[in-house]
Amino acid sequence: MNARYVWDLQEIDETRIALVGGKGAHLGALSRLDGVRVPAGFCVTTDAFRRVVERAPALDGLLDRLSRPDADDREGLRALGAEIRRTVEATPVPDDVAEAITGALARFGAHDAYAVRSSATAEDLPTASFAGQQDSYLNVVGPAEVLRHVRRCWASLFTERAVAYRRHHGIDHRAVRMAVVVQRMALPDAAGVLFTADPVTGDRRTATVDAGLGLGEALVSGLVDPDVFTVRDDRVVAETIAAKPRALRPLSGGGTREVEVDAGRRERPALTHEQVLRLVRLGRRIEAHFGRPQDIEWCLVDDDFRIVQSRPITTLFPVPGAEDADNHVYVSVGHQQMMTDAMKPLGHSMWRLTAMVPMHEAGGRLFVDVTRRLASPASRAALLEAVGKGDPLIRDALETVLDRGDFVPSLPDEAPAGPAPVPGAAPAPIDADPAIVTELVERSRASVAALERDIRTRRGPELFDFLLEAFEEHKRVLADPLSFRALMAGMEAAWWLNDKLLAWLGEKNAADALTLSAPGNITSEMGLDLLDVADAIRPHPEVVAFLERVEDDDFPDGLAKLPGGAGARDAVEAYLDRYGMRCVGEIDITRPRWRERPAALVPAILDNVRNFGPGAAERRFRKGLEEAREKERDVLTRLRALPDGERKAEETKRMIDRVRTFAGYREYPKYGIVSRYAVYKRALMEEAGRLVRAGVLAEAEDVFFLTFQEFHEAVRTGRVEEGLVRRREEEFRAYCALTPPRVLTSDGEALTGSYRRDDVPAGALAGLPVSAGTVEGRARVVLDMEDADLEAGDVLVTSFTDPSWSPVFVGIAGLVTEVGGLMTHGAVIAREYGLPAVVGVAGATRLIEDGQRIRVHGTDGYVEILS
């Protein structure tokens, strides 16, 4: 069957993307939608592009080279893209393709004016819009010029910006094909862009219209400023009218030119309010058809709107699904768990199944609906108090929503059954008895051991039934009342010390020094134990040299063959036995654990070998312990000199004992969770292997793109929906590019909050003080722990840290993160190690350059950039 090189727009819809590209498919669908007017035209198909590629053999080698250059070699990419474009433009259009195009032009009007626009197969998709990546040409007149501009559109598939965009989104250059849309040229009075959701805030109820006179290209190119209209609930709620001294108009013989606008027209709006509202209603119909917010290019011709493009707005953060149409307010779980990366479906579905509160997924992240807690005064006050202690930015974002007055419903407090609880009150007193912590740790270990024992014989559907029961035990362990009291006792004691010692002695964050080297902190021990691993490696040069070349995860086996390597291997294996269940982003079960990828630890081990001497772990712990004891003596002595000093010193001593007893336990419940997760994962991956052997899946890690429930069904039926894994992979890749908000509303508005402080010096970056002290050093901006190359005295600057980052904490002088709160893991370990730390610094990894000298004010909560 012969290929067909031209299709009329009326013949195509979204099912034809592979043939006519994203833009062509959307325009075809819109041209068939009642009430939507699209300029008539046709598409030159990807089959025509394929013919051109076949006629240029040199392209094959050039495309091979395009896939090979280093991502940072911008000059190489630029030169290679230019060579490919020259090759495509110099290749004649095959006769049969040219005949099909000129035949279509004859039907529509051979010598009329046309817009010739690129339409790539990876363009205008829900996960990647490619907006502005390929070229469009306006007012093209005559068959010869149309053919020439079709070739230019083909070549624009390899512009520098398009190549870079595909590389960023992981899209294979060879997998993308170019179609070309040829449409009758609209000669508009006005033109512009409609966003059916606010592209800045994400609010789905708010639409934004940008409008200018003449051709819309003047707005796109920045030649003129647009009028901007904001529409909400079918009402123009804001407008900005720009002066319009110039406009872009088509020339009669082809091409465009800039013209002066009559003086009387320059200050008038490009659209009336009635036209704006009519356009937004049209946009809502288009949005409903495609099922997601749209970025729509429009023209106004004789008071009639023509749609020339509609693409999804891919930068909006998705909204959690709700079973009703009520307003909802969601708080990010990732900002509390210090893991704001997107999670794969198996990861977020299992976290929801094992969590203590209901959660909602959006954009690969998890959120908790706090609407009802915000609705009544008492629960609202308790919630704001709690989140404010942990992350002031979340509190500010919630207060921003509340200040609007009409978004969150107002409900009366429920009548208590007994004595009214005091919001934010401390739990029942608990003795500072280390035996309590010992008992809790033993309970957790016993629970994990029972899980390991009972899961061994479970296979197939029986395994999933067993896991559902195990998840209930998981939640029971987390909800242990004694565990909760121990956690709260440590936190409340720290808050008490900070408040009282600030009031009595004028000292900020005094608890930070009093908790140095607190006993039983499993996360800080993880960092110190890796120093001991370095001690086993440092005396053996051949082992060190071997580790410097390590790329494979089976390196422990190779150590035993080297002089001194047996002891080094034993040290590494012992470390993995205790901590191998941990990893970066460990709340996502799909992330590779250190036991699976031990090479992830090698950079930190080598940093320890280079930056420390023997016995550093013991010295560091002893130093912290001595500093804490000295601080305690100093505080108690100064208190006794105050009026009523003996009472104040006695109360303070009681709180110091309490915080030192329970501060370390703060990290243990998370250790218990990830220990259980490691057991779950081993069993699940064995089932994944059986699905691969049965031909149900191509590889075991495909199960990461199934929810737990879908995985269960696949094991039960031996089937997975065709194409599901691939679609989920594409979604996940798109979600990774999104930045999750701290607070999200059901209208789609993303709120990040602000500090609203006046005590931060000009030019400094505000954040939350979580570990006292001031330090100056070289900033090392690190986004992946495996890429860390740290020296003593460096200040780590990163997006977030979870417990897996603890091994690098032992070698740094300070910490700055974009995400975090007073009781998140990075803050706890920074205090444990005595590192000045500021967290919640918006944009820190972007605003601070690697290698700059910075000063971290861990007591006052800001960061100065010195050079």
Rounded CA gap, 494 and 488, in Å? Answer: 10
Burial of 855 (0-12, 13-18, 19+ CB in 10 A): middle
Nearest residue to 779 via CA among 840, 847, 859, 827: 847
Asked whether the beta carbons of 10 and 32 are under 8 A apart, the reply is yes
> 225-254: buried (b, 16+ CB within 10 Å) or exposed (e) per residue?
bbbebbbeeeebeeeeebebebbbbbeeeb
Rounded CA gap, 833 and 809, in Å? Answer: 8
> 64-73: buried (b, 16+ CB within 10 Å) or exposed (e) per residue?
eebeebeeee
Asked whether the beta carbons of 318 and 362 are under 8 A apart, the reply is yes
403 CB contacts (<8 Å, ≥6 apart)? none
Token readout for 207 is 């639409």
Exposure on the CB side of residue 679, measured as CA atoms within 13 A: 24
* Token pair 């205008």: residue: 124
Asked whether the beta carbons of 259 and 246 are under 8 A apart, the reply is yes
* Token pair 């035209």: residue: 41
825 catalytically annotated: yes
Token readout for 850 is 């690697």
Asked whether the beta carbons of 218 and 242 are under 8 A apart, the reply is no
First to last CA, the chain: 67
Token readout for 728 is 């989920």
Starting at the edge strand found earlier in the chain, the sheet holding 743-745 runs 360-362, 365-369, 329-332, 743-745, 750-751
Nearest residue to 848 via CA among 778, 793, 789, 758: 778
638 CB contacts (<8 Å, ≥6 apart)? 505
What 8-state DSSP symbol labels residue 270? S
> 459-491: buried (b, 16+ CB within 10 Å) or exposed (e) per residue?
eeeebbebbeebbeebeebbebeebebbbebbb
CB atoms within 10 A of CB 704: 23
| Beta bridge mates, 248 | 214, 258
376 CB contacts (<8 Å, ≥6 apart)? 410, 411, 412, 413, 414
| Beta bridge mates, 259 | 247
Token readout for 688 is 């994944």
Nearest residue to 798 via CA among 814, 810, 776: 814
Annotated catalytic residue: which of 169, 360, 825, 857? 825
Exposure on the CB side of residue 477, measured as CA atoms within 13 A: 28
- At residue 397, what is the residue type? A
Rounded CA gap, 681 and 594, in Å? Answer: 13
| Beta bridge mates, 605 | none
Q: Which helix (H) or strand (E) holds 239?
A: strand 236-240
Rounded CA gap, 98 and 726, in Å? Answer: 36
506 CB contacts (<8 Å, ≥6 apart)? none
Q: Is the dihedral of CA 632, 634, 639, 640 positive or negative?
A: positive
Active-site residue list:
825
